[in-house]
Amino acid sequence: MMPALVLLLPLGLGAFFILWPRPDATLRRGLALAAGLWLLAAALWLLEAALNGTPAAAVAGGWPAPYGIVLVADALAALLLVVMALLALAALGHAAATDADRPHRGFHALFQLQLFGLAGALLAGDLFNLFVFFEVLLLASYGLLLHAQGRQGRPCPPAVALHYVLLNLMGSTLFLLAVALVYAAAGTLSMSQLAARLGSLPAPDQALAGAGLMLLATVLALKAALLPLLAWLPGTYAAAPAPVAALFTLLTKVGVYGLVRLWTIANGGIAAALPGLPAPLPGGDPAHPVAGLLGPVLVTAALATLAAGAVGALAARGLRRLVAWLVPVSVGTLLAGIAAGGTDGLAGALYYLVQSTFITAGLFFLADLLPAAVADGRRGQETPPGQRPAPVLAVLFLLGAMGIAGLPPLSGFIGKALVLSAVAPANGPLWAWIWTVVLAASLALVLALTRTGIRLFWTPLGAGAPAAAAPSLPVLLPALALIAAGPLLTVLAGPATQLAEAVARQTRDGGSYAAAVAKLAPTAAPAAPSSTRRRSGRHQEARQSSIDCRHGVEPGASARTSMRDPVPTSSAMEQPP
Partner 1 sequence: MEWLLAAAIGLLVGSGVYLLLSTQSFTVVLGFLLLSYGVNLLVLAGGRLVVREPPLASTGPAAADPLPQALVLTAIVIGLGMTAFALALALWAARRSGSGDVRAAAGDDGDDDP
Which residue ranges make up the site for partner 1 (CB under 8 A)?
67, 128, 132, 135, 139, 142, 146, 154, 157-163, 165-166, 169-170, 172-173, 176-177, 179-181, 183-184, 235, 238-239, 315, 317, 321, 376, 378-379, 537, 540-541, 543-544, 547, 557-558, 560-563
Instruction: From 113, 107, 108, 129, select the one nearest 61 (Cα to Cα).
Output: 129
Q: Given the complex with partner 1, which of 54 and 523 has the nearer CB atom?
A: 523
Q: Given the complex with partner 1, which of 372 and 410 has the nearer CB atom?
A: 372
Q: Given the complex with partner 1, which of 288 and 534 has the nearer CB atom?
A: 534
Q: How far is the CB of 376 from partner 1 (least distance, A)?
A: 6
Q: Given the complex with partner 1, which of 92 and 181 has the nearer CB atom?
A: 181
Backbone angles phi, psi at 467, to 5 degrees: -85, 140
Contact 352, 330 (CB under 8 A): yes
Q: Given the complex with partner 1, which of 80 and 233 has the nearer CB atom?
A: 233
Distances (CA, A) of 215 to 179, 180, 207, 294: 9, 11, 12, 11
Q: How far is the CB of 122 from partner 1 (least distance, A)?
A: 19
Distance of CA 65 to the CA centre of its chain: 24
Q: What length is written for the chain?
A: 577
Q: How far is the CB of 473 from partner 1 (least distance, A)?
A: 30
Q: How far is the CB of 117 from partner 1 (least distance, A)?
A: 12
Instruction: From 113, 98, 99, select the one nearest 144 (Cα to Cα).
Output: 113
Burial 164-188 (b: 16+ CB within 10 A, else e): bbeebeebbeebeebbebbbebbbb
Q: Given the complex with partner 1, which of 315 and 395 has the nearer CB atom?
A: 315
Q: Given the complex with partner 1, which of 22 and 379 has the nearer CB atom?
A: 379
Q: Given the complex with partner 1, which of 473 and 563 has the nearer CB atom?
A: 563
Instruction: From 497, 499, 342, select the one nearest 424 (Cα to Cα).
Output: 342
Q: Given the complex with partner 1, which of 215 and 396 has the nearer CB atom?
A: 215
Paired with 190 in beta bridges are 126
Contact 334, 353 (CB under 8 A): yes
Q: Given the complex with partner 1, which of 208 and 461 has the nearer CB atom?
A: 208
Contact 476, 369 (CB under 8 A): yes
Neighbours of 535 (CB within 10 A): 11
Q: How far is the CB of 182 from partner 1 (least distance, A)?
A: 8
Q: Could you give the residue ranges of the DSSP H alpha helices within 126-275?
A: 127-147, 158-186, 191-198, 203-224, 232-239, 242-266
Q: Could you give the residue ranges of the DSSP H alpha helices within 52-157?
A: 75-97, 107-123, 127-147
Q: Given the complex with partner 1, which of 300 and 571 has the nearer CB atom?
A: 571
Q: How far is the CB of 137 from partner 1 (least distance, A)?
A: 13
From CA 350, how far away is CA 229, in angstroms rounded? 23
From CA 237, how far away is CA 127, in angstroms rounded? 27
Nearest-10 Cα torsion for 18, 24, 26, 29? 10
Contact 537, 82 (CB under 8 A): no
Contacts for 287 with CB less than 8 Å, ≥ 6 apart? 195, 198, 199, 266, 267, 268, 269, 280
Q: How far is the CB of 19 from partner 1 (least distance, A)?
A: 19
Quote the radius of gyration of the chain (alpha carbons, Å).
25
Q: How far is the CB of 132 from partner 1 (least distance, A)?
A: 6
Q: How far is the CB of 512 from partner 1 (least distance, A)?
A: 26
Q: How far is the CB of 492 from partner 1 (least distance, A)?
A: 38
Phi-psi group of 385: left, alpha or beta (phi > 0 → left; psi -120 to 50 → alpha; rest → beta): beta
Q: How far is the CB of 195 from partner 1 (least distance, A)?
A: 19
Q: Given the complex with partner 1, which of 159 and 424 has the nearer CB atom?
A: 159
Q: Angle between the 319-340 and 242-266 helix axes, to the nearest 10 degrees?
A: 10
Q: How far is the CB of 154 from partner 1 (least distance, A)?
A: 6
Q: Given the complex with partner 1, which of 237 and 457 has the nearer CB atom?
A: 237
Q: Given the complex with partner 1, which of 74 and 126 has the nearer CB atom?
A: 126
Q: How far is the CB of 483 from partner 1 (least distance, A)?
A: 24
| Sign of the CA dihedral with 494 first, then 495, 499, and 505 last | positive
Per 3-state DSSP, the chain is made up of helix, strand and coil in percentages (nearest 5) of: 75, 5, 25
Contact 573, 552 (CB under 8 A): no
From CA 509, how far away is CA 343, in angstroms rounded? 9
Q: How far is the CB of 286 from partner 1 (least distance, A)?
A: 24
From CA 271, how far away is CA 189, in angstroms rounded? 14
